Amino acid sequence: MIPPAFIFILAALPIPFLKNRVRNVYLLTIPVIAFLSLLTMKKGSYPLASFMGYQLTMRVDELSMVFAYVFVIMAFAGVLYALHSRNNLEFFSAFLYIGSSLGVVFAGDLVSLYIFWEIMAVASVFLIWLNNEPWQERRKAIAAGFRYIMVHATGGVILLGGIILYIINTGSIDFNQIPYGDLASILILISFILNAAVPPLSAWLSDAYPEASVTGAVYMTAYTTKTAVYVLIRGFAGVEILIWLGAIMAVYGVIYAVLENDIRRLLAYHIISQVGYMVAGVGIGTQLALNGSASHAFCHILYKALLFMGAGAVIHVTGRRKLTELGGIYRFMPITFFLYMVGGFSISAFPLFSGFVSKSMVIAASAEAKLPIVWLMLTLASSGTFLHTGLKLPYFTFFGENYAEKARSIEMEIKTGKERKNEKAQIGQIGEPPLNMIAAMAFLSFLCILLGVYPEILYHMLPYPVEFEPYTGQHVTETMQILLFTALGFFLLLKYVAGEPTISLDTDWFYRKGARLFMRFITGPLASAAQFPLDVANEIVARVKWFSKSPVSATFLIFATGFYKTFGALPGLQPEHAKILIEEAWKNYPGEPVRRSPIGDSVILVLLIVVIYGIISFLIP
């Protein structure tokens, strides 16, 4: 049996050399092969290799399989969405990213987990750096990529430290439930929640995802945060602090989405919010809650990828990514709008869509665990999600006033003195995106509706038996009341919720501004402090160099000058003559031409000292 991780990693190697249809068929075939491999896998633990006396293993069980299935499904959808791209290096990076994510999911030990964890971080950063699309400012993508890898490299070091301490404490590398409380477990948990984008360790997500390429961002929505949810379920189920961290995440992401004008940055904050439900479920730790976390991760990968696909299609066609630069394009992109709204209804937990059958499990688990504040926070976050992802973003993107085109129209009228003759000319060459992008969105839309209508398909894959019925009269009624009142409030307050052409900083402010302050310190006080010993060293070198030009003359100058400054004269000379002699000697040192003995002044000086020492030794017994 070939582990699915290696199917993608090995399949990545020939990608840079493939072209055209051969490449496209190859790219679509690999996820299919991986999915068939999953269908044939049997549950159990399988040895892979030995490392420093420890056995590396691959574990296959219900929890790993539910994540593996959706990872491979997402791989197929992501490849299909990106088929029009000619950037083979992006596909290469994506396959390494997908393969390493599957490696994390099937890792039965902490060493394997760490190796795949780091490959995942390195491979994903290239999906940011490889953004060469015309609308993108290359400098922003490069800077965001460096901040992204800086944060994840820090998390990797923390994880490695925690793993080493854990092995020292327990003597085992097996990755199972980790007892929480000692330093090793705290370090491992910190690294996990960093990848899960738990505030205040979340700014890397909203900073980096909007700067990735249109197709690269789709992959990134699926894997990093969901592998973090998986390892949290595996290692830290029932740790109470995760309940409150998850609830705060759910609200935090919604609040920051209010401030956003960039459509993909808005969606990125809703990743943080939705992962909050999963983290809270892990913290609650009951079977219902853990099932809810796993199922919501499954559904979230599908609908969030669909939302990023819709936003990416708009950017691909228009070259614009801000709400204040969009609007009025529904008539030219109706299919894109319709498919986007399937994702919008899914993330908002509308009945008959996938989010309804997964998110409600976590909310129900919080009520069952008698956590009313957590229940309220998760419910309010769900309402806020619909407000921004299901209403604000699609309205101002597809229906709102077209600010940019209005400005272009006015500018054209000023230049030509003529009015535009038809509406399509005002909008420009806007239409549906390439067929492969539409097909990928349609594929994920179908799955979102299928899971919403037949949740048993998903429930049968979950790690614990499911005794939860989402479609009760009370649950459907309560949900629709919340959503419809949210929609009513949106349209009543429409002019107050429009996008603002501003940029909001998250906790990345600390390392953005902190980096500047650090560089100022390096180039300011620290540089000045370091300059002093450097100046001293340079002065010593300069004096040694000066002395070495003519050691005998230099010795005479030094002693003569010292004698003159002490006694005000030189033996046998008037004070004014001595002063003139010393000044001329300093001015002409070492003098041209310089008379040197054939054996050198230094040797003569040494011999002279030796002779004097010998005479003194002879005279004084």
Do 222 and 95 fall into the same domain? yes
- Can you give the residue range of the structural domain that contains 96? 1-236
Contact 329, 493 (CB under 8 A): no
Tokens for 372? 């009313």
Do 6 and 153 fall into the same domain? yes
Identify whether 410 is part of a domain: no
Identify whether 422 is part of a domain: no
Q: Which of 218, 236, 254 is the last residue of a domain?
A: 236
Q: Which of 476, 504, 532 is the last residue of a domain?
A: 504
Nearest by Cα to 287 from 43, 456, 465: 465
Do 155 and 13 fall into the same domain? yes
- Within 10 angstroms of residue 154's Cβ, the number of other Cβ atoms is 16
Do 192 and 258 fall into the same domain? no
Residue with tokens 């000619």: 86
Do 295 and 367 fall into the same domain? yes
pLDDT of 486 reads: 86
Identify whether 326 is part of a domain: yes
pLDDT of 563 reads: 75
Nearest by Cα to 267 from 309, 235, 231: 309
pLDDT of 616 reads: 73
Number of folded domains that form the chain: 3
H helices, E strands: number in the chain:
26, 2
Identify whether 521 is part of a domain: no
Q: Which residues of 530-562 are buried (b: 16+ CB within 10 A; e: fewer)?
A: eeeeeeeeeeeeeeeeeeeebbbbbeebeebee
The alpha carbon of residue 356 and the mean position of all alpha carbons in its chain are separated, in whole angstroms, by: 29
Do 7 and 138 fall into the same domain? yes
Count the alpha carbons within 13 Å of 249 in the hemisphere toward its beta carbon.
Answer: 32
Identify whether 407 is part of a domain: no
Contact 397, 314 (CB under 8 A): yes
Count the alpha carbons within 13 Å of 506 in the hemisphere toward its beta carbon.
Answer: 26
Do 302 and 222 fall into the same domain? no
pLDDT of 569 reads: 73
Do 163 and 270 fall into the same domain? no
List all residues 6 or more positions away from 285 whose beta carbon is below 8 Å from its beta carbon.
Answer: 237, 238, 239
Do 218 and 69 fall into the same domain? yes
Element (H, E) at 582: helix 575-588
Q: In this structure, which amino acid lies at residue 520?
A: R
Contact 121, 153 (CB under 8 A): yes
- Within 10 angstroms of residue 69's Cβ, the number of other Cβ atoms is 16
Taking the alpha carbons of 222, 225, 231, 233 in that order, is the dihedral positive or negative?
negative
Identify whether 34 is part of a domain: yes
| Inter-CA distances, 354 with 25, 155, 484, Å | 30, 32, 18
pLDDT of 408 reads: 55
Q: Which of 217, 236, 255 is the last residue of a domain?
A: 236
Contact 420, 409 (CB under 8 A): yes
Do 257 and 204 fall into the same domain? no
Q: Which residues of 467-498 are buried (b: 16+ CB within 10 A; e: fewer)?
A: ebebeeeebbeebeebbeebeeebeeeeeebb
pLDDT of 392 reads: 86
pLDDT of 595 reads: 45
- Within 10 angstroms of residue 425's Cβ, the number of other Cβ atoms is 12
Residue with tokens 């940029």: 503
Identify whether 513 is part of a domain: no
Do 68 and 94 fall into the same domain? yes
| Inter-CA distances, 164 with 99, 158, 451, Å | 25, 10, 41
Rounded Cα–Cα distance for residues 303 and 310 (Å): 10
Identify whether 111 is part of a domain: yes
Tokens for 290? 């853990």
Nearest by Cα to 434 from 74, 31, 83: 83
Do 375 and 494 fall into the same domain? yes
The low-confidence residues of the chain, meaning pLDDT below 70, are 1, 133-137, 402-429, 499, 511-512, 515, 518, 527, 591-608, 613, 618-621
